[in-house]
Amino acid sequence: MTADDALGGRLADSLDRALTDLDPGPGDLAGAVEQGQRLRRRRRTAVVAGVAAGVVAAAGVGAGVRALAGDERPEPAPSVPAEGWERGADGPLSARHSPLVVWTGEEVVVLGGHSGVPCPPNADCAVPDDWEQGGAAWDPATDRWRAVTTLSPTQVDATTPHAVVDGEVMLQVRPREWWMTGGNVKAWGRLPRAPLPTHALPTVHDGEVAVVADDGRVMTFTLAAGWRILPDDPGTPRLEDGRVFATELGLLRTGFDYDAAAPDEPTTVQVDRLRPDDTWERLPAPDQLGDFTTWTGTHLVSAATGGADGGEVNGWDRWVPDGGRYDPRTGRWRPLPDVPDRPASSPDWGWTAEAAEGPLVVSGGRLYDDRTGTWTDLGSHPSRHGYATGAALADGRLVTFGGFDASGPDWDDGEVGDQLWVWTPPDG
């Protein structure tokens, strides 16, 4: 046993003992996170000297994880991959669709997902009860997998609200309950209880997590200070729906003021910016129907390529796009540049992946680069399990895991997959 193994084991044991009905204070978890960061730095140094043959730890392997030999290599791909695609090593996880896939900055962590038949596109389905509980992490530098601890108090899939804070994964377990990894995803610790319930997706910048509560107010969280509810601006009507983005410019709240539009005008997304005095200012309105999905460091962006004109009755006399990009520094909105006029390459039902990292956004089988305003067709997914894949962008490469084979004549006869694939841009 190495010193890292012993230290990681002690950290896992200490956090496991903390998983009780009592919430540990943020100071204890901050120490665990710092400990995990040291472990990761030491682990990356050890990779240079070589990787041990056994990459899957016996402890923390939950349901849905199978044993994996350290020298096991992937079988040949069933067909020649599309340009840019390469298959990764076989991992310890069972087949699944819609897992949560997260890039920590060093590893791709895969958690949960479903083992049954997913809901078809545009269908109304019951809440699934086929949850998978296993978790594993893949290192792109070594093409190796290791098991991570299972988060037993909750079911996790691609829709679970989550954030990555200093290389550790933060997950929402219940509307007011959040957990966070410590020690390189070897155990979980419970965070202080959030003051308000939420079901929205959080964002994070420089260690500060921001999320919209169910009542429309904005909450922030840091390991040092815990949770905080931000006040509303009495002079600005509170936006409904939407998200909040933690950015280097401060907090940006997006959403809709459904009473603001005239009867013959569309209700477009709005943007509020938090002033230094904790009041909100309404920025010039974008001419966009859908909400923004990501902050690229320069723009708020939605890569949706559709739109509407309001229809024949009370139409708007113009086409209003679903997506676009918005510069909060200037208040200037623009349509997405050079929007492709044809569907992305995809067989049958196609393959679905949504991911974002920095200036890159993956949506609808394409990658949009906000630096250049250009689009890249990712081609057909190289595996037949292309529907409902879990996906993340990792240093500019798209990593997908699992998915569902929807190419057959009968949807219910499709199978879930257990392959990891990586798409690298042509200049990557």
What pLDDT score was predicted for residue 127?
A: 77
As a whole number of angstroms, the distance between CA 132 and CA 146 comes to 17
More confident of the two residues 289 and 3: 289
325: tokens are 């990009």
CB within 8 Å of 24: residues ≥ 6 apart: 18, 189, 190
Which sign does the torsion angle of CA 346, 349, 353, 354 carry?
positive
Among 7-16, 253-262, 328-337, 415-424, the least confident range: 7-16
As a whole number of angstroms, the distance between CA 137 and CA 155 comes to 18
What pLDDT score was predicted for residue 276?
A: 92
Nearest to 365 by CA among 375, 374, 373: 375
Which helix (H) or strand (E) segment holds residue 253: the answer is: strand 250-255
pLDDT above 70 covers a percentage of the chain that reads: 75
Does residue 13 have a pLDDT over 50?
no
What pLDDT score was predicted for residue 83?
A: 66
More confident of the two residues 82 and 171: 171
Does residue 63 have a pLDDT over 60?
no
Does residue 75 have a pLDDT over 70?
no
Q: What does the pLDDT look like over 394-413, one tens digit per residue?
A: 999 999 999 999 888 888 88
> Which string of DSSP letters, residue by residue, matches 179-210?
EEEETTTTEEEEPPPPSS---SPPEEETTEEE
Q: What does the pLDDT look like over 117-167, one tens digit per residue?
A: 988 877 888 878 899 988 899 999 999 999 887 665 578 999 999 999 988
Most confident of 39-53, 171-185, 193-207, 327-341: 193-207
Q: Which amino acid is at 284?
A: P
Q: What is the mean pLDDT of the chain?
A: 79
Q: Which residues pair with 164 in a beta bridge?
A: 169
What pLDDT score was predicted for residue 74?
A: 37
What pLDDT score was predicted for residue 262?
A: 79
Does residue 383 have a pLDDT over 80?
yes
As a whole number of angstroms, the distance between CA 318 and CA 359 comes to 29
pLDDT level of residue 249 (50, 70, 90 thresholds): very high
Among 81-85, 149-153, 263-267, 318-322, the least confident range: 149-153
As a whole number of angstroms, the distance between CA 342 and CA 383 comes to 23
What pTM was estimated for this model as a whole? 0.80
Q: Which residues pair with 404 in a beta bridge?
A: 387, 416
Mean pLDDT across the stretch 32-43?
A: 42
Structural domains for the chain: 3-423 (2.130.10.10)
Among 41-45, 299-303, 323-327, the least confident range: 41-45
CB within 8 Å of 75: residues ≥ 6 apart: 90
